[in-house]
Chains A and B, each alone.
Chain A
Amino acid sequence: MNELRPRDIALTAPAALFLVAFMVAPLLLMVYVSTLERAPFGGVLWGSHTAVAYEKLLLERDLLGALSFNSDYIAIFARSFRLAAITTALTLAIGLPTALYMTTLSPRRAAIILFLVTVPFWTNLLVRNFAWILILRNGGQLDSLLLWLGITSQPLDILYTPWATGIGLTYSFLPFMILPVYVALERIDRRLIEAAFDLGADRLRVLTRVVLPLAMPGIVAGAVLVFVPCLGAYVSPELLGGGKSLMIGNLVQAQFGASRNWPFGAALALVLVLILLLSLALLALVRRRAERLS
């Protein structure tokens, strides 16, 4: 079983080589480009290295070449972190009770809910975010409903604000939280919960002392699965956020569009990857600790 045969290598080769050529190589190229000098009209000067792209994250160079601190990009990073963190918290607040509820259902019903949660994940992200424009815009479905209920007397004016981006992100990534949390809860040995009740714990303490600690790997996995793509989100802030709530993803895109600063765009993308690697290391740490527990 452990032997590696030439046939097995031949079978895996097409997929593996394809991903080396079109995933690994491009990522390495991106790292390389981030160290290059920007060409005057877009593109890069191959072979001419500089750290300007990284310098630009923090500093600004005026016409005379003097450097001064620039908080513009830091602000965008901070906003992205804030939105990603709020989104992660919101998806957990909605996802955890939903997943808990799903574990109380019969397997058949749980499978149906699971399917319903999965479907939006597979449908077009752009179109689903576009649908929120219809709901959130002035005079849209939300305004109409609130006016009709008499809760508000004028439009909320929520579209093209960070609020709308937050709603879009929470909506986009909610399934990423529900699924791993549900899987983790479902795996818990029911006898442990019975034992906790038997030993006199009430519902709240069973939840906080037994269920949540045991489900922690799933919760952390969900948090990483939401936080990471949130940080690199492009579609929700682009469609719903307007100019005032740009996120890292939009900043990256801008470097390849209007700004034509490829090294800076590559450097920004690389920072995103580094944050991702840090999050994964955290996840691995939590997993290992959980494994040591059980």
Chain B
Amino acid sequence: MMRDQSLLRIPGASVIAALALVFLYLPIVTLVALSFNASDLTTIWTGFSVRWYAAVLDNGDMLRAAKNSLITASIATVLATAAATAATLGVARTRSAYRGVVEGLLGLPLLVPEIVTAVALLLLFVLVGAPLGLLSVILAHTVFCIPFAYYPIRSRLAGLDPALIEAASDLYASAWQRFLRIELPLLGPGILAGALLAFISSLGDFVITYFVAGPGATTLPVYIFGMIRIGVTPEVNALSAILLLTSIAVIGVAFLLGRRPASQHKGG
């Protein structure tokens, strides 16, 4: 359907929109550019170099933190995505009050300020006497990864004709066959997008991790925070740039997956 795009045209809006995008990307571009600066001094540009990337990859503490980040993000992503997928299928067929309760619970981590979640989880781990370490970090990350995984899967399911699921049962598929042959393939892109979003959310989290990570469970953002406190070095720039570009690559993939149409013919 063609529509008139000009009705809402406001003079100057395009300038502000352009400035908004510059504002959003200026720090990212600056950081990445400076990470290639050859100079020891972070302010003066002396030439292009990847020496700080080499330094980062040579730093044992950093590699340990990166390993912790990847372990945490991988496990939290798998747990959260599996739980979110099951929950999506569970609420799909009901419109009862139960669904409202479940969706409210699943959305809670996005609603509560991070600092509050961090405090609450710290108190819980201390109360039950759980040592603060990689396990507490993984559990905490799974909490906020669940909603990030849930919403893309849910919106994928909402775009599907509910009769497709009924048709599978009608054509003699058992619950398990229906899941493997119909639900999983049709929800697949949503599940993958949800997993990717959960993964980068875990990879990027600082506040909650800062509270619940013990000394041995430092993740990359916590490590970077420690470095920044000591002072701005070119090495931090390089490390930060790696983290930024990784996130951007993952979100790009998730976005492309989310744009794939759910079904060519939707029920009317």
A residues sitting closer than 8 Å to B (CB atoms) are: 1-5, 7-16, 18-20, 22-27, 29-30, 33, 43, 94-95, 97-98, 100-106, 111, 113, 115-120, 122-128, 130-135, 137, 139-141, 171, 174-175, 178, 185, 190, 193-194, 197, 203, 206-207, 211, 228-229, 231-232, 234-235, 239, 248-249, 252-253, 256, 262, 265-266, 269, 272-273, 276, 280
Contact = CB atoms under 8 A, between A and B. Distances in A.
Contacts of B105: 15-16, 19-20, 23-24
B225 A101 contact: no
A130 B247 contact: no
Interface string B77-88: 000001110110
Contacts of A19: 105-106, 108-109, 143, 146
A23 B108 contact: yes
Contacts of B123: 26, 29-30, 33, 262, 266
B31 interface: yes
Interface of B: 3-10, 12-14, 16-17, 19-21, 23-28, 30-31, 34, 42-43, 82-84, 86-87, 89-91, 93-96, 98, 101-102, 105-106, 108-109, 111-117, 119-124, 126-127, 139-140, 142-143, 146, 150, 175, 197, 200-201, 203-204, 206-207, 210-211, 221, 224-225, 228, 232, 236-237, 240, 243-244, 247-248, 250-252, 255, 259
- Interface residue SS majority, chain B: helix
B229 to A, nearest CB: 9
A125 B101 CA distance: 30
Contact of A97 (B3, B17, B95): B17
A131 B143 contact: no
B28 A123 contact: yes
25 contacts: A5-B94, A11-B86, A13-B90, A15-B86, A16-B87, A16-B106, A19-B109, A24-B108, A26-B117, A98-B20, A101-B16, A113-B21, A117-B20, A122-B251, A123-B248, A128-B27, A131-B28, A134-B42, A140-B43, A229-B113, A229-B114, A248-B115, A252-B115, A256-B119, A276-B112
Given A15-B106, A94-B16, A171-B23, A190 B4 contact: yes
A140 B31 CA distance: 12
A290 to B, nearest CB: 19
A30 B120 contact: yes
Contacts of B12: 97
A226 B111 CA distance: 12
Nearest to A102: B17
Nearest to A232: B113
Nearest to B126: A43
A5 B93 contact: yes
Contact of A235 (B4, B126, B207): B207
Given A125-B204, A134-B42, A272-B116, A104 B28 contact: no
Contacts of B31: 127, 130-131, 134
Contact of B225 (A111, A126, A134, A137): A126
Contact of A132 (B27, B115, B146): B27
Contact of A30 (B119, B204, B210): B119
